């Protein structure tokens, strides 16, 4: 409680300064002189890293892969733009990330008149004011990562269930006048998590928060977005209506199944893309990517695949599935050629993985040397993991919009790209009122 009062006092003090200045300070655990290059003798280990060590790692030079120690180093090194570039790639010591800075200020390390006073004050000064980030129970790991990058702590909320299985949400901190971000993904028990999200939004709204934004990396019911059969519901529209009614003012998602879902809402929706992170991963981790072929496992993904193929300047192909008819086996035809090349299958969701495993068989049959799969949302339900273990994939790469720790243990072929920095940057930019469009083509930090 005292921390809270001190918090507000310092905020009031800083009221006259511009918001930018707050970020030009150093983390209190670092030595006084902020002009020291970050690799000079800092070894303050981060306790949080040891606990979240994913079991599978292949190459250490993949900055985008989920490796907590690596990301810490990348954070600070990439943020200090005025450093010598050669130093960045040599040092591998672990040190704290410096507070987030805006990307277009290369003079960020100039001595700032407020730095001296910033030192003497506590940690709260260096954080962004008036923002609270809550985590739902679907993906606490992602929320922790996002908050680390924002130099915040996950705000306290107790999420429990009553004995009759009703969700019980209690917000543990004051949110009056704050910008609230609630991070909840469509993973695990989707209906429970959706209900929890709605109740949290409503709780923050009626607690007089300034603005409530829901950060939903994987949007629930996104595939039921059109009436393709008689009497089929458009559940995505229903979810959009429920979120608006609960009181959300802003939605941040990643790679919506169809970008038209943005139109289902009357509130602003930011649809971020994992494509830059995937491209980065392909360039850094797949040997011979320059001669690879990007393949779409079905007709609907053709547009996505051609976009990636164009950016990498490689060929593309697609697999056309002919529907099952009476007394006929489902036939898959390959349109295009993969003979003697590395095939990269790209899809937006990996659910039961039936289609992509059959596609992999087809590609190997057609002469592909190796087959990789990239999916943004790795749902992996039902027999997916057994299918993948028995499949011909070299590696299946997903992002951590949905928690992947359990899946990576059960299937060693699964690799995970960490997209928390994209979400954290989107939150920071939305909170500061800066443009988010930079994120559509760049991967921040990493």
Partner 1 sequence: MPERADASSGMVLLTGNSHPELAKMVSERLEIRLGEATVYNKTNRETSVDIKQSVRGKHVFILQSGSKNVNNDVMELLVLIYACKTSMSKTITVIMPYLPYSKQCRMLRRSSIAMKLVAEMICKAGASRLVSLDLYKKEIQGFFSCPVDNLRASPFFLQHIKTNIPDYKNAIIVAKSPGVMNKATSYADRLRLGVAVIHGEQKDEEESGLEDGRQSPPPNVTSYDFLPAQESKQKPPLTVVGDVGGRIAIMVDDIIDDAQSFVAAAEVLKARGAYKIYVIATHGVLSSDAPALLEASPITEVIVTNTVPHDLQKMRCHKIKTVDVSLMICEAIRRIFHNESMGQLFRDVTLDD
d(CA 328, CA 141): 46
Is residue 345 within 8 A of residue 360, CB to CB? The reply is yes
Using the minimum distance from each CB to partner 1, give the nearer residue, 29 or 105: 105
Of 180, 192, 258, which Cα lies nearest the Cα of 219? 258
d(CA 150, CA 292): 37
Using the minimum distance from each CB to partner 1, give the nearer residue, 204 or 269: 269
* Segment (H or E) for 360: helix 354-365
Using the minimum distance from each CB to partner 1, give the nearer residue, 74 or 420: 74
CA 41 to chain centre: 31
Compute the least distance from the CB of residue 34 to partner 1, in Å. 20
Compute the least distance from the CB of residue 212 to partner 1, in Å. 21
Is residue 114 within 8 A of residue 17, CB to CB? The reply is yes
Interacting residue ranges for partner 1, rule: CB under 8 A: 77-78, 81, 85, 88, 103-104, 225-230, 234, 236-237, 240, 258-264, 269, 271, 276, 279-280, 299-300, 302-303, 305-307, 310-313, 316-318, 320, 322-323, 333, 335-336, 434-435, 437-438, 440-444
Using the minimum distance from each CB to partner 1, give the nearer residue, 187 or 240: 240
Compute the least distance from the CB of residue 442 to partner 1, in Å. 6
Compute the least distance from the CB of residue 317 to partner 1, in Å. 6
Structure tokens at 302: 């053709």
Indicate the pairing of strand 250-254 with strand 211-216: parallel
Compute the least distance from the CB of residue 137 to partner 1, in Å. 28
d(CA 414, CA 79): 30
Using the minimum distance from each CB to partner 1, give the nearer residue, 311 or 392: 311
DSSP 101: -
Q: What angle do CA 127, 429, 128 make, to 5 degrees?
A: 10
Using the minimum distance from each CB to partner 1, give the nearer residue, 335 or 390: 335
Is residue 319 within 8 A of residue 298, CB to CB? The reply is yes
Compute the least distance from the CB of residue 414 to partner 1, in Å. 26
Compute the least distance from the CB of residue 116 to partner 1, in Å. 29
Compute the least distance from the CB of residue 218 to partner 1, in Å. 18
Q: Which residues touch 400 (CB under 8 Å, ≥6 apart)?
A: 66, 139, 141, 142, 416, 417, 418, 419, 420
Using the minimum distance from each CB to partner 1, give the nearer residue, 65 or 171: 65
Of 386, 416, 357, 432, which Cα lies nearest the Cα of 52? 416
Is residue 350 within 8 A of residue 383, CB to CB? The reply is no
Sheet harboring 315-322: ordered strands across?
331-335, 315-322, 293-296, 342-350, 370-378, 395-399, 414-417
Using the minimum distance from each CB to partner 1, give the nearer residue, 165 or 229: 229
Using the minimum distance from each CB to partner 1, give the nearer residue, 140 or 438: 438
Compute the least distance from the CB of residue 73 to partner 1, in Å. 12
């Amino acid at each position: 409680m005292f921390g809270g009062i001190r918090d507000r006092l310092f905020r009031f003090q800083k009221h006259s300064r511009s918001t930018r200045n707050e970020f030009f300070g150093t983390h209190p655990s670092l030595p006084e002189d902020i002009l020291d290059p970050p690799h000079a003798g800092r070894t303050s280990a981060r306790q949080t890293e040891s606990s979240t060590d994913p079991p599978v790692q292949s190459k250490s030079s993949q900055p985008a892969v989920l490796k907590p120690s690596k990301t810490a180093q990348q954070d600070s090194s990439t943020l200090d733009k005025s450093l010598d570039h050669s130093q960045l790639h040599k040092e591998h010591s672990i040190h704290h990330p410096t507070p987030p800075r805006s990307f277009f200020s290369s003079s960020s390390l100039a001595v700032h008149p407020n730095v001296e006073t910033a030192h003497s004050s506590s940690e709260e000064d260096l954080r962004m004011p008036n923002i609270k980030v809550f985590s739902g129970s679907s993906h606490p790991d992602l929320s922790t990562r996002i908050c680390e990058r924002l130099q915040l702590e996950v705000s306290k909320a107790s999420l429990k269930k009553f004995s009759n299985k009703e969700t019980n949400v209690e917000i543990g901190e004051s949110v009056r006048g704050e910008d609230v971000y609630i991070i909840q993904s469509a993973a695990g028990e989707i209906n429970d998590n959706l209900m929890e999200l709605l109740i949290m939004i409503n709780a923050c709204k009626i607690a007089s928060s300034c603005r409530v934004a829901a950060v939903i990396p994987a949007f629930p019911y996104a595939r039921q977005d059109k009436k393709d059969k008689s009497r089929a519901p458009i559940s995505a529209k229903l979810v959009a209506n429920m979120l608006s009614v609960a009181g959300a003012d802003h939605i941040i998602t990643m790679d919506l199944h169809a970008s038209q879902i943005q139109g289902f809402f009357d509130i602003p929706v930011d649809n971020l893309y994992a494509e830059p992170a995937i491209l980065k991963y392909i360039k850094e981790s797949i040997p011979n990517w320059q001669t690879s072929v990007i393949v779409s496992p079905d007709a609907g993904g053709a547009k996505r695949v051609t976009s990636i193929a164009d950016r990498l300047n490689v060929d593309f192909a697609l697999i056309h599935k002919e529907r099952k008819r009476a007394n006929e086996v489902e036939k898959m035809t390959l349109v295009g050629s993969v003979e003697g090349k590395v095939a990269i299958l790209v899809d937006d969701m990996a659910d039961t993985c039936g289609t992509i495993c059959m596609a992999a068989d087809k590609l190997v049959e057609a002469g592909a040397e190796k087959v990789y799969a990239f999916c943004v949302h790795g749902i992996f339900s039902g027999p997916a993991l057994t299918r993948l273990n028995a499949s011909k994939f070299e590696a299946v790469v997903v992002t951590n919009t949905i928690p992947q720790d359990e899946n990576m243990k059960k299937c060693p072929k699964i690799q995970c790209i960490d997209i928390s920095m994209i979400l954290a940057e989107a939150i920071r930019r939305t909170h500061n009122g800066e443009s988010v469009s930079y994120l559509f083509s760049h991967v921040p930090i990493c």
